[in-house]
Amino acid sequence: MTGMKKGSGGRELTVRVKTSRGRTASSQRWLERQLNDPYVARSKREGYRSRAAYKLIEIDDQHHILAPGMSVVDLGAAPGGWSQVAVDRVGSNDAKKRVVAIDYLEMDELPGVILFKKDFLDEDAPAMLEEALGGRADVVMSDMAAPTTGHQKTDHLRTIFLCEVAVDFAINVLKPGGHFLTKVFRGGAENTVLTLLKQHFTSVHHIKPPASRAGSVELFLLAKGFKGRKDAPDEGQARDVPDDTDGSWRP
């Protein structure tokens, strides 16, 4: 790999990665992109676990979905960038943990976060998250994406399925007035998610934050102002107990 060099005007030049036996062309392009990404460099300087943290920072700076005292669920949390931002902005700490995170991938513990190493699609996962909350959530956010296959349409549909499951969960655990944020891949099938969100929230926004790479098909859907569950006895009050008679939630 060539090092970062300075041009005659002191400007940093692009890092080029030398070819290496065993390294594919796609992995070489990924490595070059990482080395030249200002958000990657910034995340290392500022102590964030991933460049994705800046996507949430930029979204929240514009739409103000996180505030001190709020409770947050982070779906697909690894490696923890979004949880770090949430901890800072809602004032979560080990004395009063306000952020609950889940991912089937390994993730180091974070102060102020209740962490589950578990697949969100497991039948008992939603109930575990709700119990950890000790009530209802102010914000549910999902950066979940299915492992890519290289086939864009298949990847899109698999991620949309995760979005739909996350929406169902949010509808069951959010307080009235709460917010839901999710990543989607553009491809057409996201219209089903949009329809569902418009039924349950007062406003829905398409967002492409600056930290999202221009060439990426990802965008974010932000649904603000949860209208409340129609089957809830009192939409003005958060309930601490699930509806289901056995105490669990099912999609």
The residues annotated with a catalytic role in the active site are 183
| Virtual torsion, Cα 115, 117, 120, 122, nearest 10 deg | -130
Asked whether residue 143 is marked as a ligand-binding residue, the answer is yes
Asked whether residue 82 is marked as a ligand-binding residue, the answer is yes
> What are the φ/ψ torsions at residue 12 (nearest 5 degrees)?
-75, 135
Nearest to 221 by CA among 173, 170, 150: 170
Provide the CA 27 distance to its chain's centre, in angstroms. Answer: 24
Terminal-to-terminal C-alpha distance of the chain: 48
The rounded distance, in Å, linking the Cα atoms of 170 and 156 is 21
Asked whether residue 80 is marked as a ligand-binding residue, the answer is yes
* Nearby residues of 86 by Cβ (< 8 Å), 6 or more positions away: 56, 66, 72, 74, 92, 99, 139, 141
The rounded distance, in Å, linking the Cα atoms of 188 and 157 is 9
Write out the E strands in the chain: 72-75, 99-103, 113-117, 137-142, 174-185, 201-207, 218-226
Asked whether residue 119 is marked as a ligand-binding residue, the answer is yes
Residues making up the binding site: 80, 82, 103, 119, 143
Residues making up the binding site for S-adenosyl-L-methionine: 80, 82, 103, 119, 143
